[in-house]
Structure 1
Amino acid sequence: MNRTTPSTHPSSDKGHSVVAAPVTAHPLAELIAHEIRERGGWMGFERFMELALYAPGLGYYSGGRRVLGQRPQDGSDFVTAPELTPLFGEVLARQVLQALDATGTDEVWEFGAGTGALAEQLLGELGDRIQRYVIVDLSGSLRDRQHQRLLKAHPSLVHKVIWADSLPEAMSGVIVGNEVLDAMPVHLLSWDGARWQERGVALAPQGDTPHPTFAWADRPAPEGVRPPTEHPDSAYPPGTVTETHGQAEAFVATLAQRMVRGAAFFLDYGFPEAEYHLPQRHGGTLMCHHAHTADADPLAMVGDKDITAHVNFTGIALAGQEAGWEVLGYCSQGRFLTNCGLGEALARTGQASNAADIQSRVALQMLVAEHEMGELFKVIGFVKGPWFEAIGFAHGDRTHTL
Structure 2
Amino acid sequence: MNPKARQSDSLPAPGADALAQSEALTQLIRERIAAAGGWLPFDRYMDLALYAPGLGYYSGGAMKFGRRAEDGSDFVTAPELSPLFAKTLARPVEQALRESGTRRVMEFGAGTGKLAAGLLTALAELDVEIESYEIVDLSGELRDRQRATLMAQAPTLAAKVEWIDALPDAFEGVVIGNEVLDAMPVRLVVRKLGAWHERGVVAEGEGFAFADRPVAVDAQIEQIDAAIDETNDEPFAEYVTETHEAALAFTKTVCTMLVRGAAFFIDYGFPRREFYHAQRAGGTLMCHYRHRAHADPFLYPGLQDITAHVEFTGIAEAGVETGADLLGFTSQARFLMNAGVTDVLSDIDPSDVKRFLPAANAVQKLLSEAEMGELFKVIAFSRGISGTVDAFMSGDRSHTL
TM-score (ref. length: structure 1): 0.91
Give yes or no for the alignment of 1:228 onto 2:223: yes
Q: Distance in 1 between matches of 2:46 and 2:83?
A: 31
Give yes or no for the alignment of 1:42 onto 2:36: no
TM-superposition CA deviations, 1:32-83 (whole Å, max 9, x none): 0000000000000000000000000000011111111111111111110001
Q: Which runs of 5+ in 1 are unaligned?
A: 1-17, 207-211
Return closer, same or farther for 1:38/1:379 CA change in 2, 3 Å cut-off: same
5 Å-filtered alignment, 1:1-400, equals 26-127=23-124, 128-204=128-204, 206=205, 212-224=206-218, 226=221, 228-229=223-224, 230-231=226-227, 236-349=235-348, 351-400=350-399
Q: How far apart are 1:191 and its partner, in Å?
A: 1.3
Q: How far apart are 1:151 and its partner, in Å?
A: 1.4
Q: Distance in 2 between matches of 1:195 and 1:226?
A: 11
SS in 2 for 1:172: strand
Residue matched to 1:6:
none
Return closer, same or farther for 1:236/1:120 CA change in 2, 3 Å cut-off: farther
Bigger relative CO (Cα 8 Å, ≥ 6 apart): 1
Return closer, same or farther for 1:71/1:280 CA change in 2, 3 Å cut-off: closer
Letter in 2 for 1:94: R
4+ aligned runs moved over 6 Å, structure 1: 18-24
8 A Cα contact 1:60 1:306, kept in partner: yes
Letter in 2 for 1:148: A
SS in 2 for 1:294: strand
Q: Distance in 2 between matches of 1:389 and 1:171?
A: 19
TM-score (ref. length: structure 2): 0.91
Q: Distance in 2 between matches of 1:264 and 1:310?
A: 19
Q: How many residues align?
A: 379
Q: How far apart are 1:327 and its partner, in Å?
A: 0.3
**Identical-pair percentage:** 51
Quick check: which one's helix share is greater?
Answer: 2
Q: Distance in 2 between matches of 1:155 and 1:53?
A: 31
Q: Distance in 1 between matches of 2:203 and 2:350?
A: 58
8 A Cα contact 2:96 2:385, kept in partner: no
8 A Cα contact 1:90 1:121, kept in partner: yes
Question: Higher mean Cα deviation, 226-235 or 113-122?
Answer: 226-235
SS in 2 for 1:169: coil
Return closer, same or farther for 1:232/1:341 CA change in 2, 3 Å cut-off: closer
